Structure 1
């Protein structure tokens, strides 16, 4: 793992890199294989040649028994000036750990629609690229409006994601979530929910989702790897349906998977 980052690192100067955020409990990263595979795929997509062994070693070095949020960042490293350099050195790999609390689980979220748009046509739309300014500005809008997160629409005015999460809605008894072509990230917990729901008798439909559909949905919730599932209670000041029963059922199954892999109970405080 890199102990320091050069001021000439392309991640610092140009945002030339990708990252992953995962939850570690009891010294084990939940869904570790999925996280590493997604990070490697993102590196490959932007042409960063990084070895899996290096990423795995950096993760191991950062693990402790304490519940932690692990962020793994990979950049192109240092190079001569220029947007596409003739040659580069070794990629930079940094893993940091921050404390995690079960109090983050199940927190309700009030949404506002961001004024900006997520560029679903960008080649980085489905990558966790380190250039996060669009999401940062949307998060500022949410904070200024007294909300908890911002809903990001794509260039066609359809639901993409929020600043930090994937979006799900129960509509007509089906679990609907935007497909990756809508500009959302292939979230790890998103993928798990799409696998778990049919096992619970709930059909999953990946399709374009209009913002107006959220108002009439039987439930709206968000997913990510740190907070797992969060019920959305309002959008732009209008209340959304209470889907706590369904969300609780999905969380119970996610909790069973966490316990099986990490040997730690996933229990909100």
Structure 2
């Protein structure tokens, strides 16, 4: 595989990142996962806008190069017109300690992979091991600090599920470890508001444009929902089970897949 490192393409076997890179030592950085379709990155402007917003929150300078061009070059170098691109941006190397260097030199990595197979409806549980901190500015940043999600995903695996729903500190539904969550309740398509600790997903925004409404949700609401589905940059995935309760309605997800490119 060829990847983009810094300002150029390189072979994976030749790629080198310093062990002092703050992305490795402190998780100091951001990432974007993007769907490649027909040789183009879907909703590229939205991804780059979210990257820029996250960089502003972290005080992290963006690389002074054409990111769209680097993404396209990485896809082409790997012979992919359909697949997944991941852009990772760290603050680069720095001295020991938490305080970032005054003039950081960020590290940029872009990788490419073929698209995976279509997934069956997801089985969900509600995480008991951790909570989403809706008060943290990181709640709306796609950062490299993913340990809450990892703990919850491990819990889901132990309980025989595919993913875990994260509640926030007020016991409201936020999202799953890797996706935004939508529900059809009493005929309305709803999703938790950003203020409840929700990452501003790119596919989430596309579904919102189709008429979904923001509304605080409790775990009880998920148990009575007629339909549930998950959204990420890679598409829309129906939910077939929540805490052992079967969910058999898929009509809203199917309608949105037909209307939204890459869903």
TM-score (normalised: structure 1)? 0.87
Offset of residue 51 of structure 1: 3.8
Q: For 1:85 and 1:232, how far apart are their aligned partners in 2?
A: 41
* Correspondence 1:113 to 2:126: yes
Unpaired runs of 5+ residues, structure 2, are 6-14
Offset of residue 206 of structure 1: 0.7
Q: For 2:75 and 2:239, how far apart are their aligned partners in 1?
A: 32
Q: For 1:89 and 1:205, how far apart are their aligned partners in 2?
A: 40
Q: For 1:248 and 1:224, how far apart are their aligned partners in 2?
A: 15
Offset of residue 124 of structure 1: 0.3
| Matching of residues 77-156 of structure 1 within 5 Å | 77-101=92-116, 103-104=117-118, 107-115=120-128, 116-156=130-170
Q: For 2:175 and 2:157, how far apart are their aligned partners in 1?
A: 17
User: Quick check: 1:23–1:225 contact (8 Å CA) kept in 2?
Assistant: yes
Distance 1:224 1:114, change over 3 A: same
Q: For 2:208 and 2:167, how far apart are their aligned partners in 1?
A: 21
Q: For 1:179 and 1:69, how far apart are their aligned partners in 2?
A: 27
Offset of residue 130 of structure 1: 0.4
Identify the residue that residue 243 of structure 1 maps to in structure 2: 249
Q: Partner of 1:221: helix, strand, or coil? A: strand
* Correspondence 1:73 to 2:88: yes
Offset of residue 25 of structure 1: 1.8
Higher alpha-carbon deviation: 133-142 or 50-59: 50-59
Identify the residue that residue 263 of structure 1 maps to in structure 2: none
Q: For 2:236 and 2:155, how far apart are their aligned partners in 1?
A: 22
Question: Which one of the candidate residues 165, 178, 182 is aligned to 2:196?
Answer: 182
Offset of residue 86 of structure 1: 4.2
Identify the residue that residue 32 of structure 2 maps to in structure 1: 20
Q: Deviations over 1:132-182 (max 9, x none)?
A: 111011111111111111111111111000011000011122111011111
User: Quick check: 1:76–1:88 contact (8 Å CA) kept in 2?
Assistant: no
Unpaired runs of 5+ residues, structure 1, are 199-203, 259-265
| Matching of residues 2-21 of structure 1 within 5 Å | 2=5, 3-21=15-33
Q: For 1:183 and 1:29, how far apart are their aligned partners in 2?
A: 27
Offset of residue 104 of structure 1: 2.4
Q: For 1:63 and 1:28, how far apart are their aligned partners in 2?
A: 9
Question: Which one of the candidate residues 43, 51, 55 is aligned to 1:31?
Answer: 43
Instruction: Find runs of 4+ consecutive structure 1 residues off by over 3 angstroms.
Output: 51-54
Q: Deviations over 1:102-132 (max 9, x none)?
A: x325x20010111111111111011111011
Give the number of equivalent residue pairs. 247
